[in-house]
Structure 1
Amino acid sequence: MLSLERIAQAAVDIADAEGLAAVSMQRVAADLDFTKMSLYRYVTGKDELVAAMIDLAAGEPPVIEELPGTSWRPRIEAWVRRLAEAWDAHPWLPWVTMGDRVMGPNETGWTEASAAILAETGLDVQERMSLARMLGGHVRATMSVSTAGTQPWVNHQQAGLLREHADRFPTLVAMLYDDQPAPPDNGREFGLRLILDGVERLVAERTS
């Protein structure tokens, strides 16, 4: 029997395996062994389907009281890590959650949780909103190379071009020969620590 959740799950499975571009009403209907027209009883088109996919893939938001620690920092750290887990499991998810749109209940719950945690910092509303955007952007930027955007040292072709023009890019060329292993999380924990250390210092300066 068809349902919105079953349709969304089929679409999520396709996107996880083949990318969002592979998702279409026809493909989802075929995977469910239904006609394309059957799906329109539950979603009006792909935009509405993607909205249902986002909310399903985001999953249930964390309950603040169940997060580790009793202060804002360990709780927002846990929130960021759980968000990263959801995005890592569905690499298409960060890119369809940008822009002006209406969020579903699960995704709204994630935003509510972060807002409630950051309210404990004592920062003003605009600062908390900026920090929340910064944390989301940090998770995006530290996803796998295939989804985090182009970097000048991630493939042999680019590295060859750098060496060929070493006089123009000496710092990047030197980085190519660094023998330290790259962090498995693409620097996510390192960056998170720097961001939150800065917030703690700001809060401490204001309270003193």
Structure 2
Amino acid sequence: MGRSTRDRPAKPPLSRDAVVAAGLDVLRADGIDAVTMRRVAAELDTGPASLYVYVRNRQDLLDQMFDAVAGEIALGDEPDPARWREQLTALLMRAREAMDRHPGVARVPLANVPTGPNAVRVAERMLALMRAGGIDDRVSAWATDAIFLYVNAASYEASIYLEEGTSSDDAGEEIHGQFSALPADEFPTIFSMLGHLTSGSADQRFAFGLQLMIEGLLHVKPPAPQGAAAGSRGRPG
């Protein structure tokens, strides 16, 4: 005979934080495509309808999951004009590390502007650091979009390698082999730079990309002033 409901251990109460945490558990275990309302509800031993008290739909759940991850990003010290580049680099490194701890979550803000409180705080700090460095406000505004896209893409690419059971180093070896087979007379520049094209670890290349973008802030001309275009994809971070 089954136990009476009185004898069964009580389920922990549902909450927004519990739903988001369960979503992140599913993501880390089986990837972002496995995060569905039904699967998350099963993790919480409840029905999918119960989740709609806390999230509007799957996209809202994903958005809240991403914002929870953004909450793991330490903002660091207050902006220092003498150290703004170092501070900005460190902030972006921490953002990458936070997303890498939850493989696949970096896909959420792609083509979807993150507006949760934690993501906005990260964007605020990025903009404040660039302003401390004397960067034109128009450059800073557009650069925030471009830089965060780069960080997201790098983390999402790493999650794809992880899902496939490979790495960027494996991909580099494969590319080296394919490029080595190219006719040198037809692709002389690629052939002469082959060692450089496939050199460096993923971490080294990521750090170089950040340096390239941050140093470029000091030299790029501000975009021409104009109104926001209809359907603009500008993002706060």
TM-score where L is the length of structure 1:
0.77
C-alpha separation in 1, matches of 2:114 and 2:150:
22
Corresponding position of 2:129: 117
Contact 1:142 1:186 in 2 (8 A): no
Corresponding position of 1:12: 24
1:138 aligned residue (141, 150, 153): 150
C-alpha separation in 2, matches of 1:92 and 1:110:
19
Q: Looking at both structures, which has the greater relative contact order when contacts are Cα pairs under 8 Å and sequence separation is at least 6?
A: 2
Shift of 1:64: 4.5
Contact 2:135 2:218 in 1 (8 A): no
C-alpha separation in 1, matches of 2:147 and 2:71:
19
Aligned CA RMSD, in angstroms, stands at 3.4
Corresponding position of 1:154: 171
Q: Which has more radius of gyration?
A: 2
The answer to whether 1:187 aligns with 2:194 is no
- Higher percent of residues as helix: 1
How many correspondences in the alignment?
Answer: 200
Contact 2:85 2:214 in 1 (8 A): yes
TM-score where L is the length of structure 2:
0.68
Contact 1:61 1:109 in 2 (8 A): no
Q: Secondary structure at the match of 2:124?
A: helix
Distance 1:99 1:27, change over 3 A: same
C-alpha separation in 1, matches of 2:87 and 2:214:
12
Gaps of 5+ in 2: 1-12, 162-167, 222-237
C-alpha separation in 2, matches of 1:135 and 1:161:
30
Corresponding position of 2:5: none
1:42 aligned residue (49, 54, 59): 54
Percentage of matched positions with identical amino acids: 30
Which letter maps to 1:196? I
Contact 2:127 2:140 in 1 (8 A): yes
